[in-house]
Structure 1
Amino acid sequence: MRSGIGFRLLAAVLLFSSLVTLTLTALQLYLDYDHEVGVIETRLDEIGPSYLASLSDAFGRSTRTISSLQLNGIRRLPGIRAVEIREVIDGPNPIHISVGNRSARASIAREYPLDYIVRGTKRPIGILSVEATLTEVYRHLHKTQADSRGASLPF
């Protein structure tokens, strides 16, 4: 029986269908991951136009309270783990405001220059750093994969 054509055909069909299933599962996971990371990157791209002007103005006027409130607002966006502003001007006590906790785990980070306009001249005054976590992306992928394994067959 083991050397018959039926057994070889069954083994070939099982091997082929396993390879197809594995390939399609890997492709689906990659596409889901790419989509979720794209959502985070879009959110990070939107932070620049949405917050930089007001943060630059508040930071340039040394309005720490307003800057801290704005950083907390950014930190509350989905997936954002840490936000900070660092002053780039040399001085005895450079301003540094930080909200959230940075991590060595998987993340996407962006830095945005903060410029302040004084008498029509743009001066660099600081850097806004934003770090987004990939933890929720991994959790979503794991949940999706677990849900698909537990799905019942239609027949």
Structure 2
Amino acid sequence: MAASFLGLGGLMWLGSRSPNNADVQVSAPNSAGVGDQIQIIITIRNTSTETLELSSIDFSLNYLRGFNILLVEPKYSETSQFDSLGGGETFQTYYFYRTVEPGDTLIVIFDAVALFPGDFSGEVDVCIDSDFNCVTNIPRTIIK
């Protein structure tokens, strides 16, 4: 039992790490109308002296359930869904594995359409160099 607990604690610790070698911003509209096309823009700036890799971007379905993603640029290599540790939240993950050179900026644009009225918010985790080394933002969009 103790080994199991330590293992879970290790995963929780890994999941809580945040990269200090990148500036990450998530930009999404505060409001939209049903049927509006919107952009969710994620900006990653490499502030280190070494090459970084954008591993993945994880969207909480609590946020994404208000939208249909139409296009992602640059293109992702694969996608999957997972439930958070402890449950209660499901994430849609887009894997990129794209390098960002020192001093460079990578912009990822998710083109989407607003599906139905509601107040949508949830975590967006931008993972750098590992799926456990993430910057978390919580956008909120009200669809009318």
TM-score for both structures, normalised by structure 1: 0.27
Rg (Cα) greater in structure: 1
Higher strand share: 2
- Structure with the larger helix share: 1
- TM (normalized to structure 2)? 0.28
Higher relative contact order (CA 8 A, sep 6+): 2
